[in-house]
């Protein structure tokens, strides 16, 4: 009995590893051939792909999470960079505007200096600090005073014509009346024929030339220049251009208006002509006030 119990059954013999490898290789080759040449295994392959898809998602989670983190980090960096660039843009635009203002100011100063070459007198550039709020009172406040050699009655000009004269002086500043003020008058002459008259301010943007007879030779477009009478303003400097000539039947005098040559409402710099007063202030004011 023990002899039969110790005997190894015929079908219980193990398959060798080499044979197993050969069988699996043959099976693999057969499956590859069948998958390549036929469509029999396509449903099986699709089913396995569907079954394995959750595993692929789980395997891809770390990289997806890393991509999401990189996205938010990049977005935050881009937002900060965009904000920085916007601030730099605003700063550069402000600098460009300032440069444009400086360029315009430089051009105005060059024009003033160029106009000063036509004068034999010494000139001084002053800056306008304030203008009067009254529409009928045309006054300027300047940043130059007696310490700079400014005196009452000193004429003001710009790059285009006579602007006014100084009326009050302190140590560090001064006040000037403009030729368009209703209380200002200046002796002038028509440049074309030398006809003398005065130009009175109207409290607006024009001048009036009174007391010229009805037969006076005055035309629209005539240039009006300072006559130099009274010694306050330099002679021959532009004051205005005749803009309107009215002749009324039966009237003794013409009604004439002119537009100032100086840019009354523009610019921040003026020229102060340094010429000593040739007559006393009281005499000069009486001669240059409207009758």
Domain with residue 169: its CATH number is: 2.40.10.340
User: Does some domain include residue 248?
Assistant: yes
**Each residue's pLDDT tens digit, 73-97:** 677 788 888 878 877 776 676 566 5
Mean pLDDT (the chain, rounded): 78
User: Does some domain include residue 71?
Assistant: no
The number of folded domains in the chain is: 1
User: Does some domain include residue 73?
Assistant: no
Residue 24 has pLDDT above 60, yes or no: yes
User: Does some domain include residue 247?
Assistant: yes
CB 208 within 8 A of CB 199: yes
- pTM beyond 0.75, yes or no: no
User: Does some domain include residue 272?
Assistant: yes
Question: How many C-beta atoms lie closer than 10 Å to residue 87's C-beta?
Answer: 10
User: Does some domain include residue 110?
Assistant: no
CA distances in angstroms from 83 to 70, 73, 77, 89, 92, listed in the order given? 20, 15, 10, 10, 14
User: Does some domain include residue 237?
Assistant: yes
Range of the structural domain that residue 247 is part of: 122-288
Q: What is the pLDDT of residue 133?
A: 79
Taking every pair of Cα atoms in the chain, the longest distance, rounded to a whole number of angstroms, is 169
User: Does some domain include residue 3?
Assistant: no
- C-alpha closest to that of 122 among 271, 284, 277: 271
Summarize the confidence of residues 182-198 as an average pLDDT: 92
Q: What is the pLDDT of residue 160?
A: 83
The two three-digit tokens of residue 162, written as one number: 């006579």
């Amino acid at each position: 009995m023990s002899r039969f119990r110790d005997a190894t059954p015929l079908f219980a013999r193990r398959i060798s590893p080499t044979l197993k490898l050969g069988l699996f290789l043959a099976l693999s080759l057969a499956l590859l051939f069948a998958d390549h040449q036929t469509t029999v295994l396509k449903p099986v392959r699709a089913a396995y792909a569907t079954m394995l898809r959750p595993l692929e998602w789980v395997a891809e989670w770390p990289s997806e999470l890393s991509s999401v983190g990189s996205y938010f980090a990049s977005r935050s960096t881009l937002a900060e960079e965009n904000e920085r660039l916007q601030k730099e843009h605003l700063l550069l635009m402000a600098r460009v505007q300032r440069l444009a203002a400086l360029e315009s100011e430089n051009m105005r100063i060059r024009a003033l200096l160029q106009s000063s070459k036509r004068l034999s007198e010494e000139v001084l550039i002053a800056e306008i600090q304030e203008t009067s709020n009254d529409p009928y009172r045309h006054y300027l406040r300047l940043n130059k005073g007696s310490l700079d050699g400014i005196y009452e009655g000193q004429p003001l000009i710009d790059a285009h014509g006579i602007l006014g004269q100084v009326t009050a002086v302190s140590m560090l500043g001064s006040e000037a009346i403009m030729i368009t003020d209703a209380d200002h008058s200046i002796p002038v002459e028509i440049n074309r024929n030398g006809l003398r008259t005065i130009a009175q301010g109207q409290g607006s943007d024009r001048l009036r030339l009174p007391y010229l007879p009805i037969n006076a030779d005055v035309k629209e477009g005539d240039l009006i220049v300072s006559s130099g009478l009274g010694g306050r303003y330099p002679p021959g400097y532009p004051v205005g251009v005749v803009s309107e000539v009215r002749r009324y039947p039966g009237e003794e005098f013409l009604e004439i208006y002119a537009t100032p040559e100086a840019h009354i409402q523009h610019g921040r710099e003026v020229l102060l002509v340094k010429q000593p007063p040739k007559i006393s202030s009281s005499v000069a004011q009486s001669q240059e006030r409207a009758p």
